[in-house]
């Protein structure tokens, strides 16, 4: 008999959740990525929506589904409150006003479907025989191998005699949740769901971020928001490793005060509800005495305090320390003179002890993770040789690529690293982190790119090291999670557009304004002189076209070139206003405010420059306009990062080397 499903954790009914979401939907909408060009309404039979991460397999199943006012959800096993809440919000966003839930029948059957014009959503484990049967009946496929976190989904429109059906079948509880995240992106209009079949699973088991930068750590609000965002993009890993948390580095032996421990508990709870592993990282290398049993016990006690708060994933950071000296005399006695091989031996002993005595002795723990002291390049060394030969094979080892900030990562590189370490390496990707000298004044908002398809065969996963600006980091994190889920079908440009649409809440004009803004923050440096992403490529192409038109000294061609560039300049001028009014993520607006303010001024300087160029077409000198452009450029160049939020501080950079050069050179070009 139909009933209202009761939340196990909070005592809320799904009907209550859905009713609540009706009031909150404007503030916290379920965001769907626009479908491909050519997709239509209910009569469109072949259009596929853009789903990110890109599923391993997605096919059109014909005519789109109409979502009626009343929808029934049949609930099987492995369905948690977060999944039910997400389904409720998705159906609400698609136009449903009443959602009723029923359990699988007393004998494990799916209750009979209603007639024409109805919609039944079946959700549960693919191991539930009735869920599997419903999936097959809807045209879906059950994979031969039930990969962890995978799922199958089928949505099919009804006929004159039967209702429409959506079946969400997970290989496990995570897979059920991810199937609901895909359903969210199948909403193509009011009262419309795309009709598709999906068979999907992640290519890499570890996907997400490591808060491992120097400078101001993220706030508690930042982290809570990030963990919810990771669920949306099917990322499952957050490594808590802020360098400025003294309790995990300088004062790692000290227990957390009650208030800070409560904050960590809240993060662990939030992570769990969004199917993310909260990985607690402690970095004892600055002071640990490897040979002292009391230090090893203190380390395990610290990890145990987080285990008691619900953490089940742990990490030992051994980066950014020296192995040219010991921290205690007894290490010299036990291991000999400090050096690569002896440091490797001491660290192997420590990591093996934690893996065996703490990780292995506490139920539910994931394998220990570590970043070693030598974390980049492909060269073998005495240090790496010891760890390769003696480190417990269960321990997951991180690697940053061929350099600290690599310009690219190839499959050959990753295979070589896996051979050096004797296991699949776990990529710590230092993008879009902006805590080093060459990133001063920058947001890094280019697409996640230059990572080769096929890396899943050599990597156990990827986590990105983000910026001090948490919400602005979502652009790159969106791409990193998508690549780690399905590197074979990853499209940087498509995923970049999807990230913009996510931040825009589905509004196309706001998404375009964001892309124009991202283009002016496109440059990605390395530790050396090489930039692995160019600055403002779209704007640079527009300016190159204009220069070509102007160089011919043909008035008609010059006027056409000027008109074309004015249209692009108008987009840049309008972008900050549209972003401020269209993006509902207030943290994003706060974090990016200096750069949006600077873009306002730089766009004004470009407009003034174009006025000057137009004046020369009519016999003038453009001098007054050029002076106004120079003044606006000076004002823009004086805007700095928000004090205390970024390391290093400095004047903000907007399309530097592209827009400023054009504005400076324009007067000379008309003399």
How large is the angle between the packed helices 659-669 and 586-617, nearest 10 degrees? 10
Closest CA to 104 of 135, 128, 80, 139: 128
pLDDT at 181: 98
pLDDT at 109: 62
**Torsion-angle region of 140 (φ positive above 0: left; ψ -120 to 50: alpha; else: beta):** beta
CA pair distance 171, 179, nearest whole angstrom: 10
Mean pLDDT of 96-121: 77
Q: What is the mean pLDDT of the chain?
A: 91
563 Cβ neighbours under 8 A, 6+ residues apart: none
pLDDT band for 110, please (50, 70, 90 cuts): low
Contact 401, 416 (CB under 8 A): no
For the chain, percent of residues with pLDDT exceeding 70:
91
CA atoms 543, 527, 316, 422: torsion sign: positive
pLDDT band for 299, please (50, 70, 90 cuts): very high
Instruction: Give the helix/strand (H/E) hosting 508.
Output: helix 508-520
pLDDT at 17: 32
pLDDT band for 274, please (50, 70, 90 cuts): very high
Query: Is the confidence at residue 1, as pLDDT, over 60?
Result: no
Closest CA to 197 of 29, 65, 69, 33: 65
pLDDT at 106: 55
How far the first Cα of the chain sits from its last, in Å, is: 84
Is-cis flag, bond preceding 53, omega within 30?
A: yes
For residue 408, count other CB atoms closer than 10 A to its CB.
12
Residue pLDDT, tens place only, 143-185: 999 999 999 999 999 887 778 999 999 999 999 999 999 999 9
CA pair distance 16, 2, nearest whole angstrom: 15
Query: Is the confidence at residue 92, as pLDDT, over 70?
Result: yes
Query: Is the confidence at residue 38, as pLDDT, over 70?
Result: no
227 Cβ neighbours under 8 A, 6+ residues apart: 238, 267, 270, 271, 274, 276, 278
The gap from C-alpha 381 to its chain's centroid, in whole angstroms, comes to 34
Mean pLDDT of 96-116: 74
Q: What is the largest CA-CA distance in the chain?
A: 88
Query: Is the confidence at residue 32, as pLDDT, over 60?
Result: no
Contact 626, 608 (CB under 8 A): yes
At 20, phi and psi to the nearest 5? -60, -40
Residue pLDDT, tens place only, 394-453: 999 999 999 999 999 999 999 999 999 999 999 999 999 999 999 999 999 999 999 999
Query: Is the confidence at residue 230, as pLDDT, over 50?
Result: yes
Query: Is the confidence at residue 62, as pLDDT, over 60?
Result: yes
Strand, coil or helix: what is 509?
A: helix
CA pair distance 600, 575, nearest whole angstrom: 8
**Torsion-angle region of 534 (φ positive above 0: left; ψ -120 to 50: alpha; else: beta):** beta
Query: Is the confidence at residue 21, as pLDDT, over 50?
Result: no
pLDDT at 519: 98
Mean pLDDT of 208-232: 96
CA pair distance 316, 25, nearest whole angstrom: 41
As a residue count, the chain comes to 671
Contact 201, 150 (CB under 8 A): yes
CA pair distance 469, 461, nearest whole angstrom: 23
Query: Is the confidence at residue 41, as pLDDT, over 70?
Result: no
**CATH code for the domain defined by 206-490:** 3.20.20.80
CA atoms 63, 67, 70, 73: torsion sign: positive
Mean pLDDT of 334-344: 96
Domain 532-669 bears CATH identifier 1.10.3470.10: no
DSSP state of 239: E
Tokens 């990605």 belong to residue: 524
CA pair distance 108, 131, nearest whole angstrom: 9
CA pair distance 52, 490, nearest whole angstrom: 9
Quickly list DSSP for 121-171. Answer: EEEEETTSHHHHHHHHHTT----SS--TT-EEEEEE---SSS-EEEEEEES
pLDDT at 290: 97
pLDDT band for 647, please (50, 70, 90 cuts): confident
On the CB side of 84, CA atoms within 13 Å amount to 29
Query: Is the confidence at residue 539, as pLDDT, over 50?
Result: yes
List the chain domain ranges: 14-200, 206-490, 532-669
Strand, coil or helix: what is 252?
A: coil
Contact 430, 398 (CB under 8 A): no
Contact 507, 499 (CB under 8 A): no
Q: How far is CA 525 from CA 137, 477, 530, 565, 641, in A?
A: 52, 17, 6, 28, 18
CATH superfamily of 14-200: Chitobiase/beta-hexosaminidase domain 2-like (3.30.379.10)
Instruction: Give me the residues paired with residue 459 across strands.
Output: 425
Residue pLDDT, tens place only, 547-582: 999 998 899 999 999 999 999 999 999 999 999 999
pTM here is 0.91
* Domains 14-200 and 532-669 belong to one CATH topology: no
Question: Between 20 and 361, where is the model more confident?
Answer: 361
Quickly list DSSP for 417-447. Answer: HHHHHTS-EEEEE--S---SGGGTT----SP
CA pair distance 212, 13, nearest whole angstrom: 39
């Amino acid at each position: 008999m139909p009933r209202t499903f009761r939340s196990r954790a909070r005592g809320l009914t799904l009907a209550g959740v859905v009713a609540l979401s009706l009031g909150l939907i404007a503030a916290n909408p379920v965001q769907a990525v626009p479908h491909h060009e050519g997709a239509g309404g209910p009569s469109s039979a072949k259009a596929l929506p853009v789903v990110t991460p890109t599923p391993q397999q997605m096919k059109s199943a014909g005519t789109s589904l109409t979502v009626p006012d009343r929808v029934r959800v049949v609930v099987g096993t492995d369905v948690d409150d977060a999944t039910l809440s997400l389904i409720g919000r998705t159906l609400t966003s698609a136009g449903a006003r009443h959602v009723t839930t029923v359990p699988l029948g007393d004998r494990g059957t799916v209750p009979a479907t209603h007639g024409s014009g109805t919609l039944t959503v079946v959700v549960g484990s693919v191991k539930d025989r009735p869920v599997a049967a419903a999936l097959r009946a809807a045209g879906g496929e059950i994979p031969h191998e039930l990969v962890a976190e995978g799922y199958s989904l089928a949505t099919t429109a009804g006929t004159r005699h039967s209702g429409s059906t959506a079946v969400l079948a997970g290989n496990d509880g995570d897979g059920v949740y991810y199937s609901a995240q895909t359903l969210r992106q199948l909403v193509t209009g009011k009262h419309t769901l795309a009709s598709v079949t999906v068979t999907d699973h992640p290519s890499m088991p570890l996907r997400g971020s490591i808060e491992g930068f120097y400078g101001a750590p993220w706030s508690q609000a930042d982290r809570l928001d990030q963990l919810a965002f990771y669920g949306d993009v099917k990322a499952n890993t957050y490594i808590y490793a802020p360098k400025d948390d003294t309790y995990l580095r300088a004062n790692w032996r000290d227990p957390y005060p009650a208030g800070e421990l409560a904050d960590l508990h809240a993060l662990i709870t939030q992570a769990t509800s969004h199917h993310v592993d909260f990985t607690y990282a402690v970095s004892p290398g600055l002071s640990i005495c490897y040979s002292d049993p009391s230090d090893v016990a203190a380390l395990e006690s610290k990890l145990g305090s987080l285990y008691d708060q619900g953490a089940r994933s742990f990490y030992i950071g051994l980066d950014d320390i020296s192995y040219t000296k010991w921290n205690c005399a007894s290490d010299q006695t036990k291991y000999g003179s400090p050096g690569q091989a002896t440091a490797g031996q001491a660290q192997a002993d420590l990591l093996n002890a934690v893996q065996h005595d703490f990780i292995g002795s506490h139920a539910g723990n994931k394998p220990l993770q570590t970043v070693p002291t030598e974390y980049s390049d492909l060269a073998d060394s005495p240090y790496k040789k010891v760890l390769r030969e003696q480190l417990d094979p269960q321990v997951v080892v991180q690697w940053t690529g061929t350099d600290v900030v690599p310009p690219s990562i190839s499959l050959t590189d990753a295979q070589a690293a896996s051979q050096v370490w004797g296991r699949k390496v776990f990529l710590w990707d230092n993008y879009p982190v902006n805590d080093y000298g060459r990133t001063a004044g920058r947001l890094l908002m280019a697409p996640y790119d230059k990572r080769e398809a096929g890396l899943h065969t050599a990597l156990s996963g990827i986590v990105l090291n983000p910026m001090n600006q948490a919400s602005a980091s979502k652009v790159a994190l969106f791409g990193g999670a998508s690549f780690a889920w399905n590197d074979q079908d990853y499209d940087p440009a498509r995923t970049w557009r999807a990230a913009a649409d996510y931040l825009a809440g589905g509004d196309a004009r706001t998404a375009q304004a964001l892309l124009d803004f991202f283009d002016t923050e496109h440059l990605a440096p390395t530790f050396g002189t090489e930039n692995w992403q160019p600055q403002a490529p779209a704007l640079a192409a527009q300016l190159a076209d204009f220069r070509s038109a102007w160089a011919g000294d043909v008035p008609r061609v010059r006027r056409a070139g000027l008109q074309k560039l004015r249209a692009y300049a108008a987009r840049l001028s309008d972008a900050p206003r549209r972003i401020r009014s269209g993006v509902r993520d207030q943290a994003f607006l706060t974090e990016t405010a200096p750069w949006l303010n600077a873009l306002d001024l730089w766009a004004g300087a470009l407009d003034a420059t174009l006025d000057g160029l137009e004046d020369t077409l009519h016999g003038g000198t453009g001098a007054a306009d050029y002076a106004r452009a120079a003044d606006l450029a000076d004002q823009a160049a004086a805007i700095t990062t928000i004090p205390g939020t970024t390391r290093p501080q400095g004047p903000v950079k907007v399309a530097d080397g592209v827009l400023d050069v054009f504005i400076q050179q324009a007067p000379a070009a008309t003399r």
